[in-house]
């Protein structure tokens, strides 16, 4: 009997050991399964992240391709026609002509449009007159039109240089050189006039510039004949004039643009008259809603050699870059 009881105890012990072994095996399997799931999760996350990065890269490349395609589609130039709905358009008397906007093809685009206005060159312009100021107030200084005048010639013929060349022709020669240099520098250029005659008076030219450019530079030669050097027409220090719109909101910009041009022209070797500016109440600045300046690059006695004109054009282009830096 005693031996039998001992056998039963041994069997029970063996069974318990088997059960414990099974439990251990199950626990090990469960633990390994959890580790496997974690490992799979860790592996899948980088894979998902990699897929997201690939998708983002594809989207970026697609956007760049679209941008490149749009730039390739941009025309080299565009004709700008007159719009009677523009602000101050109703003050113009001569506006059947059009301007041309040239898009720079340079790699380093500046995203700025520079209006280059070759002064004069409008047949029949002196037969029409326009208001000196948008509000009809009288001029506060003299100039080509006397102080106190309410109206002025829509656009006059300009002077004639001592060598017999018309100012309009010289203005255009300089303007074309400036256009080339600005396009090379990455600026877009709005050319008001590219021929002997464009039917746009001073107000029309200014209004077009207001609506299609970031600044407006008109090229002129002064009526004196002693080769006195270049200067810009600054805004007169007159309280009533500087408080009149749009002058009130922009006169500081006008003067800053003129100063930038004169400083860089002088650095390029262009002779400068006196302090580089002369205060005159002009139709152009009286109607300008963007930085705007009349730039007298010389006078009737100035040299018109190719070298001189290249120097002037280089100075103007450098001045534009300086102003927009």
Q: Which residue has the higher pLDDT, 12 or 123?
A: 123
The better pLDDT of the pair 46, 139 is held by 139
How far is the C-alpha of 285 from the C-alpha of 168, rounded, in Å? Answer: 20
CB half-sphere exposure, 275, CA atoms < 13 A? 6
Share of the chain above pLDDT 90, in %: 77
CA–CA separation, 233 vs 251, rounded Å? Answer: 11
Residues 169 and 129 grouped into a single domain: yes
pLDDT beyond 60 at 145: yes
pLDDT confidence tier of residue 230, bands split at 50, 70 and 90: very high
- Residues 156/150, Cβ–Cβ less than 8 Å: no
pLDDT one-digit tens code per residue, 24-76: 555 545 455 555 444 444 444 444 455 555 555 655 566 555 554 445 556 89
CATH number of the domain at 104, please: 3.40.630.40
Q: Report the 10 Å Cβ neighbour count for 81.
A: 11
| pTM of the shown model | 0.79
Is pLDDT of 105 > 70? yes
User: What pLDDT, on the 0 to 100 scale, is given for residue 69?
Assistant: 47
pLDDT-wise least confident of 29-33, 204-208, 321-325: 29-33
Structure confidence at residue 9 (pLDDT): 58
Task: Tell me, yes or no, whether 184 and 46 share the same domain.
Answer: no
Q: What is the mean pLDDT of residues 300-324?
A: 98
**Residue 120 confidence (pLDDT) above 50:** yes
One domain, residues 57 and 133? no
Q: 60 and 140, same structural domain?
A: no
End position of a domain, from candidates 31, 46, 73 = 73
Domain range enclosing 26: 1-73
User: Measured over all CA atoms, what is the biggest interatomic distance in the chain, rounded to whole angstroms?
Assistant: 148
Is a pLDDT exceeding 80 seen at residue 234? Answer: yes
- The number of domains in the chain is 2
51 and 125 in a common domain: no
Final residue belonging to a domain, choices 73, 88, 106:
73
**Domain check: are 298 and 251 in the same one?**
yes
Together in a domain, 188 and 256:
yes
Q: Are residues 69 and 136 in the same domain?
A: no
Residues 217 and 303 in one domain: yes
| Nearest alpha carbon to residue 208 among 316, 111, 87, 125 | 87
Euclidean distance between CA atoms 171 and 185, whole angstroms: 21
What is the rounded average pLDDT of the residues 236-257? Answer: 98
Residues 171 and 52 both lie in one domain: no
Q: Are residues 118 and 15 in the same domain?
A: no
* Greater pLDDT, 31 or 97: 97
Indicate whether 14 pLDDT > 60: no
> Are both 45 and 178 inside the same structural domain?
no
- Calculate the average pLDDT of the chain: 87
The last residue of one of the domains, among 13, 44, 73, is: 73
| Window from 10-24, 82-96, 215-229, 248-262 with minimum mean pLDDT | 10-24
């Amino acid at each position: 009997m005693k031996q039998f009881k001992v056998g039963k105890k041994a069997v029970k012990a063996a069974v318990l050991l088997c059960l414990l072994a099974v439990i251990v095996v199950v626990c090990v399997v469960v633990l390994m399964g959890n580790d496997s799931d974690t490992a799979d999760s860790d592996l899948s996350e980088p894979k998902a992240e990699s897929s997201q990065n690939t998708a983002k890269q594809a989207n970026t490349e697609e956007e760049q391709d679209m941008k490149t395609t749009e730039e390739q589609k941009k025309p080299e130039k565009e004709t700008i026609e007159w719009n009677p709905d523009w602000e101050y358009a109703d003050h113009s008397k001569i506006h059947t002509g059009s301007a041309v906007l040239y898009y720079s093809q340079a790699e380093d685009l500046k995203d700025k449009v520079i209006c280059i206005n070759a002064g004069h060159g409008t047949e029949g312009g002196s037969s029409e007159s326009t208001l000196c100021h948008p509000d009809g107030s009288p001029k506060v200084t003299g100039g080509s039109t006397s102080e106190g005048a309410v109206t002025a010639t829509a656009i006059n013929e300009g002077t004639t240089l001592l060598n017999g060349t018309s100012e309009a022709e010289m203005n255009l020669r300089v303007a074309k050189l400036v256009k080339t240099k600005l396009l090379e520098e990455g600026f877009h250029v709005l050319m008001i006039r590219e021929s002997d005659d464009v039917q746009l008076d001073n107000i029309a030219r200014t209004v077009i510039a207001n609506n299609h450019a970031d600044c407006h530079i008109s090229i002129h030669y002064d009526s004196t004949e002693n080769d006195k050097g270049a200067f810009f027409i600054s805004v007169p220090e007159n309280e009533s004039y500087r408080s009149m719109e749009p002058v009130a909101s922009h006169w500081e910009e006008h003067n800053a643009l003129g100063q930038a041009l004169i400083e860089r022209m002088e650095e390029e070797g262009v002779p400068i008259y006196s302090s580089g500016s002369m205060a005159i109440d002009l139709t152009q600045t009286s109607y300008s809603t963007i930085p705007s300046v009349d730039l007298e690059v010389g006078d009737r006695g100035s040299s018109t050699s190719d070298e001189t004109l290249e120097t002037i054009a280089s100075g103007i282009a450098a001045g534009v870059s300086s102003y927009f830096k």
